Amino acid sequence: MALPFVDRSSSAVPVQFVPESRWRSWLKEQTASSRAWIESTGVAGKAGDLAMLPGDNGKAAGAVLVLSAKPNLWDFGALATRLPDGTWKLASATDPVSPTDAAVAIGLGTWRFERYRSRKAKPVAKLVWPDGADKKRATAMIEALCLARDLITTPSSDMGPAELAAAAQSLAKQHGAKLKVIVGNDLLKQNYPMVHAVGRASARLPRLIDLRWGNARHPKVTLVGKGVCFDTGGLDLKPASGMLNMKKDMGGAATMMAVAAMVMAAKLPVRLRLLVPAVENSVSGNAFRPLDVVPTRKGITVEIGNTDAEGRLILCDALYEGASEKPMMMVDCATLTGAARVALGTDLPALFCNDDRLADDLLAAGRAVNDPMWRLPLFAGYRRLLDSKVADINNAPGVAFGGAITAALYLKEFVPDDVPWAHFDMMAWNNSSRPGRPEGGEAQAARAIFAAIEKRVGKK
């Protein structure tokens, strides 16, 4: 996507920012004619209001945007799409939001998914880069997050396991990373039996995407993303309503690709590894079945309680492999359970973590960059619900309660206690458009995860 920024413009029109709490006092400071004009437009000084200021030549002499009482980056997210065509400049400080974060929000607000549209949306306004903004950092973050949005929003007809691997290949090439992809029956030969079992029913072969980047002497950081490119539910078939938006079931993979892109663009001093099991959970004569028993990379066996609980199955092989290198921290992202959405809604990813320090780092990072999450417990008392009478573990308990917790407890079986690990159960989708967050795919928690990694290892 083209960014809405220019380096400079002598004809740029100014945009002022006024917090909601200061609106009345600011309005009193304006000339009588300006006050009368603003009041006639119906602008009441509520957060998000945008007032145009008239000039002598019939054109806008400026604009004023009303910020929240406690401003955050999303206050700036709709600027480029709401301002009239032309070039504008920020005439007020963005405090307490950094100029870089304000630029990120402005850029993200211009994202549109128009791949299949013959008629494109009208061009957005241009803005001069905010004074003090780190252009390189902001650009890298916007591009990474928009990449994730594009991948998630693309229909499964054009975003299967092969296309997801191709996107990872492009990312590796861009940043000088190494990429290995294990495809089809080679998954069995190289001991990824769960990835193969879930994906084998599709004509689009399953695969494990393995990206490595950075200096081997640096601290190891491992990212794992659920890459179910479409989920029918398998033989435990979803109803039509449940299947409708399952193109986004690879949202965890896209989110982790965004985090990896930001880490590599920032050249953080880490040894990065990104693991994405990419499959399509389909129905055919060779689909895995309820109550099948399937081996795992760890060597334990899993009784299939439900074929629609497939995300945790492909993740368990990838997590066990990722943990084998004893990384400093390992994080996975997945659109894993409806239970997490029932508990926390669509905007708040659920965080599960086996290490309090890592959890605290992620929660603090989320607050700092306004990328919220909520920690839920890895309650050991529910582990008994995963017991199987014929295998080492069952992937889906036969009870309707605590589904996000039992899913996380299943994953925990494949991560040793001495590997700090965090698991995000997320929606990966904006159901409606808001400033900076248009309707469509979303890389939830990506900025927070990147910030937590950066805080731990420092900038290069």
Other beta carbons within 10 angstroms of residue 221's beta carbon come to 25
285-294: average pLDDT: 97
Q: Is residue 146 part of a domain?
A: no
pTM, 2 dp: 0.95
- Judgement on whether residues 242 and 278 belong to the same structural domain of the protein: yes
* Residue closest to 96 by CA, chosen among 75, 119, 125, 122: 75
What are the b/e assignments for 314-344, b being 16+ CB within 10 Å?
bbbbbbbbbbeeebbbbbbbbbbbebbbebb
- Mean residue pLDDT of the chain comes to 95
Q: Is residue 398 part of a domain?
A: yes
The enclosing domain of 208 has a CATH number of 3.40.630.10
Q: Is residue 148 part of a domain?
A: no
The mean-pLDDT minimum among 31-45, 152-166, 213-227, 238-252 falls in 31-45
51-77: average pLDDT: 88
421-425 and 393-394 strand pairing: unpaired
* Residue closest to 170 by CA, chosen among 161, 160, 179: 179
- pLDDT at position 35 is 86
Is pLDDT above 90 for 324? yes
3-class SS string, 322-381: HHCCCCCEEEEEECCCHHHHHHHCCCCCEEEECCHHHHHHHHHHHHHHCCCCEECCCCHH
pLDDT confidence band for 122 (50 / 70 / 90): confident
- Judgement on whether residues 87 and 223 belong to the same structural domain of the protein: no
- Judgement on whether residues 125 and 226 belong to the same structural domain of the protein: no
- pLDDT at position 460 is 62
Whether the upstream peptide bond of residue 130 has omega within 30° of 0, thus cis, is: no
Is pLDDT above 90 for 398? no
Q: First-to-last CA distance in the chain?
A: 28
- Judgement on whether residues 81 and 114 belong to the same structural domain of the protein: yes
CA gap 253, 225 in Å, rounded: 4
Is pLDDT above 80 for 226? yes
Copy the structure tokens of residue 224: 């794992």
- Judgement on whether residues 276 and 389 belong to the same structural domain of the protein: yes
- Judgement on whether residues 223 and 194 belong to the same structural domain of the protein: yes
Which residues are catalytically annotated?
A: 238, 312
Q: Is residue 145 part of a domain?
A: no
CA gap 410, 311 in Å, rounded: 11
222-227: average pLDDT: 98
Copy the structure tokens of residue 300: 């334990």
Q: Is residue 401 part of a domain?
A: yes
Cβ-proximal residues to 53 (8 Å cutoff; 6+ apart), any chain: 34, 37, 38, 60, 61, 62, 63, 64
SS3 of 231, please? strand
- Judgement on whether residues 158 and 205 belong to the same structural domain of the protein: yes
The mean-pLDDT minimum among 4-8, 58-62, 241-245 falls in 58-62
pLDDT confidence band for 33 (50 / 70 / 90): confident
Q: Is residue 149 part of a domain?
A: no
Is pLDDT above 70 for 7? yes
- Judgement on whether residues 183 and 116 belong to the same structural domain of the protein: no
Task: Give Cα separations from 233 to 183, 371, 393, 410 (angstroms).
Answer: 22, 30, 20, 18
- pLDDT at position 400 is 84
429-430 and 421-425 strand pairing: unpaired
CA gap 50, 78 in Å, rounded: 10
- Judgement on whether residues 81 and 163 belong to the same structural domain of the protein: no
> What is the 8-class DSSP label of residue 129?
P
- Judgement on whether residues 290 and 420 belong to the same structural domain of the protein: yes
Is pLDDT above 90 for 179? yes
CA gap 263, 269 in Å, rounded: 9
The mean-pLDDT minimum among 36-50, 72-86, 271-285 falls in 36-50
SS3 of 115, please? coil
246-273: average pLDDT: 98
Answer for the pair 410, 393: CB distance below 8 angstroms, yes or no. Answer: yes
Q: Is residue 139 part of a domain?
A: no
Structural domain count, the chain: 2
pLDDT confidence band for 103 (50 / 70 / 90): very high
pLDDT confidence band for 232 (50 / 70 / 90): very high
329-334 and 178-183 strand pairing: unpaired
416-431: average pLDDT: 97
Q: Is residue 147 part of a domain?
A: no
Domain hosting residue 172, numbered range: 154-457
Answer for the pair 252, 407: CB distance below 8 angstroms, yes or no. Answer: no
- Judgement on whether residues 206 and 333 belong to the same structural domain of the protein: yes
Is pLDDT above 80 for 328? yes
φ, ψ (nearest 5 deg) of residue 152: -70, -35
The enclosing domain of 92 has a CATH number of 3.40.220.10
258-285: average pLDDT: 98
pLDDT confidence band for 121 (50 / 70 / 90): confident
94-111: average pLDDT: 96
Is pLDDT above 80 for 29? yes
- Considering only CA atoms, give the Rg of the chain: 24
pLDDT confidence band for 119 (50 / 70 / 90): confident
Greater confidence (258 vs 459) lies with 258
- Judgement on whether residues 117 and 166 belong to the same structural domain of the protein: no
Burial of 312 (0-12, 13-18, 19+ CB in 10 A): buried
